[in-house]
Chains A and B, each alone.
Chain A
Amino acid sequence: MTTDNNVLIDVKDLEMQFGNHKAVDGISTQIKKGEVVVVIGPSGSGKSTFLRCLNFLEYPTGGHIFYKGIDLINTKVDINKYRQKMGMVFQHFNLFPHMTILKNMIIAPMKLQGKNEKEATELAMSLLEKVGLKDRANSYPSQLSGGQKQRIAIVRALCMKPEVMLFDEPTSALDPEMVGEVLEVMKELVNDNMTMIVVTHEMGFAKEVASRILFIDQGKILEEGTPDEIFNHPKSERLKTFIKKVL
């Protein structure tokens, strides 16, 4: 379908309906390699649902998602294989409480990518070092602070060497003083040219690192553009009032 080799995810007329409510109502966009797309919008606008549709935590009711040109919805592809390429970070961390931090990070590479324990541990430890949590490798999630948990959740996803990272409000459940440390890790990812789609309420972060911002309301993309276009020259009334409220 796509001719542009740089397009990683191509979303066409995506729809997600819960009962009579269309949470996502015809979203089309292309995510290019290395792009940092930040999704903003009021609560209940469908931005999280949109993100969750991308790796099929919600199975879309309509439209298409092409991953490197392969239609994930209507063909018989093994979605589990594609989920491995899409790292996901949740609002509530969702670390596995019955495993140590290290085990949290190596279980998926070992079981799904056939890595042996040594390889997987090496990668995990180098990532832990990067986020400054190497000394917590043998702790359990309940012994960490929220910010630490979220940093672990990020590197756990990175252990699968994903091609794109999806962030679903990664700082919304954190105490204010812990937001910074998580955003720091995300900024480092940006510097490493990771392709990222970030649903967030952190407008400062959006301004600073986004290559493109999508403003979603009532399941539709109302406006999209660079941070400058969105924040300094909003066109629609809806976006103008939204920005006034959040800034």
Chain B
Amino acid sequence: MYNPVLLDMASTLQNYKERFILNFISDDRWKYLVNGFFTTIKIAFFAVIIGIVLGFFVSIVRSTYEMNRNDRSKGKVYKVIMGILNFICRAYLSIIRGTPVVVQLLIIYFVIFQSVSIDKVLVAVIAFGVNSGAYVAEIFRSGIMSIDKGQFEAGRSLGFNYFETMVYIIMPQAFKNVLPALGNELITLLKETSVSGYIALEDLTKGGDIIRSRTYDPFMPLIAVAIIYWVVVVIMTFLVGKLERRLRNSDH
């Protein structure tokens, strides 16, 4: 009388329910995910701020250097200072983009902050912020370079100095052009923080992994972790898209 398929399904469901309880309910294991989630968000949020500020300044130094390289109206001192700044920025870009972020994280934690006791979250924020800054800098620079030279000349001919022209004329246009790339970088950054576990930081990924090691059941916790990342990325994509559309509306 009993349908064997239905019976099988019922026992499978029962099985999943038990695994769900084991992985998330027992011993309040869900807290690993929730706490990990907030740690991940905290790291990503502050790293993004550092990344954008750092990227902004590096991109301005780089593009200023490139644009004014042949400008004879500038004095020697100015040129030497700009040359040094540009060299520092290039070295920064080369090192950060030339090495894996995990290695950078490990070096910052185990080498640079070796002898100081410091909050691991702060270490991660610094590591991911400095890392992201390099990518953001190149995104901003490509945005600045994409603006027609005439815009720059129009600003200067009205009497704006270099910096004012950058701030009022170039940057607003450049920012709009690079918003998709910038949004992409933010999403990448969020996902990159998943390697924080390398310095024993309990972020979302590590939280899921801890549950796995307690319950010996990889499926439930890891799929849950993946779903949470995915949902956050979908929300971020939506918000960036919304901002993009709003900026587009302002200039038809």
Contacts and interface: CB of A to CB of B under 8 A. Distances in A.
B173 A94 contact: no
Interface stretch (B23-31, B57-65, B86-94, B146-154): B146-154
Which of the four size classes fits the interface of chain B?
Answer: 20 to 34
Which of the four size classes fits the interface of chain A?
Answer: 20 to 34
Contacts, number: 71
A71 to B, nearest CB: 13
Interface in B121-148: 148
B156 interface: yes
Interface stretch (A33-41, A105-113, A221-229): A105-113
A84 B159 contact: yes
A94 B251 contact: no
A140 B251 contact: yes
Contact of B158 (A98, A112, A140, A143): A112
Given A97-B251, A111-B168, A57 B156 contact: yes
Contacts of A94: 148, 150-151, 153-154
B115 to A, nearest CB: 49
Contact of A98 (B153, B159, B160, B173): B173
Nearest to A107: B168
Contacts of A142: 251-252
Given A79-B73, A143-B252, A96 B156 contact: no
A83 interface: yes
B114 interface: no
Looking at A88, A98, A156, A157, which has the most chain B CB atoms within 10 Å of its CB? A98
Interface of B: 71-73, 148, 150-151, 153-161, 164, 168-169, 172-173, 176, 250-252
Top-7 shortest CB links A-B: A84-B159, A94-B154, A88-B157, A94-B150, A108-B158, A59-B73, A83-B159
